[in-house]
Amino acid sequence: MSKHEEIIVDFINKNPQYKRYKLRENFIKTLINQEYVNDCTEDESGKFLSKKDTYKLYSEGIGLFNYIPDAYFIDEKNRTLHLLEVDGTSGTSKAKLSRMIDLWWFTDNEAWFLELTSISVHTEAISHIDDAAFYELSIKQIYKNIKKERNQNGYAY
């Protein structure tokens, strides 16, 4: 078993509420159950959607992000999605962080929080990114994208 895998297994053994597989499916089911209990989902015309159509709607939205953590915990009571990421030699890549921010936008749109626990393979140092930090990262990403687009189009910034 690799060091990466050992850290994940050890973390899950200490935190048994964390799971490894089917994040999208389980999170969608959680959202549907809460949404359906609270106020039901409507389409553009105001017609209530069936659970099947609601599942399809959420599947399309959640399918937009392409990020699978090493483990996760769906905390329904506190409306928080906890992620675990075990980083290798280079830390979290910009691409992976961008996908995490996409996931944050999705969870934020559903009035959920997103928190990340990151563990280094080499030092086993643990760091946390909470929902507020994801917000700050997303704003920085938006600003960077706007600046890049303006530079490409020849606008002074």
Distance, in Å, from the CA atom of 148 to the CA atom of 136, rounded to the nearest integer, reads: 18
- Which pLDDT score is estimated for 40? 57
Q: Which residue in the block uniquely carries the two structure tokens 């090493």?
A: 70
- pLDDT tens string, the chain, 157 residues long: the values are 888 899 999 999 999 999 999 888 888 888 877 755 445 556 667 677 677 777 777 777 666 566 788 999 999 999 999 999 998 755 667 777 778 888 888 888 888 999 989 888 887 788 888 888 888 877 877 767 666 666 666 655 4
pLDDT of residue 157: 45
The pairing of strands 113-120 and 80-87 is: parallel
- Whole-angstrom Cα distance, residue 2 to residue 11? 14
Q: What is the pLDDT of residue 89?
A: 57
pLDDT of residue 31: 81
What pLDDT sits at residue 136?
A: 83
Q: What is the pLDDT of residue 16?
A: 96
Three state DSSP letters for the chain: CCHHHHHHHHHHHHCCCCECCCHHHHHHHHHHHHHHHHCCCECCCCCECCHHHHHHHHHHHHCCCCCCCCEEEEECCCCEEEEEEEECCCCCCHHHHHHHHHHHHHHHHCCCEEEEEEEECCCCCEEEECHHHHHHHHHHHHHHHHHHHHHHCCCCC
pTM: predicted TM-score of the whole model, two decimal places? 0.77
Per-residue model confidence (pLDDT) at position 120: 86
The pLDDT, as a whole number, for residue 19 is 95
115 Rama sector, left if φ>0, alpha if ψ -120 to 50, beta otherwise: beta
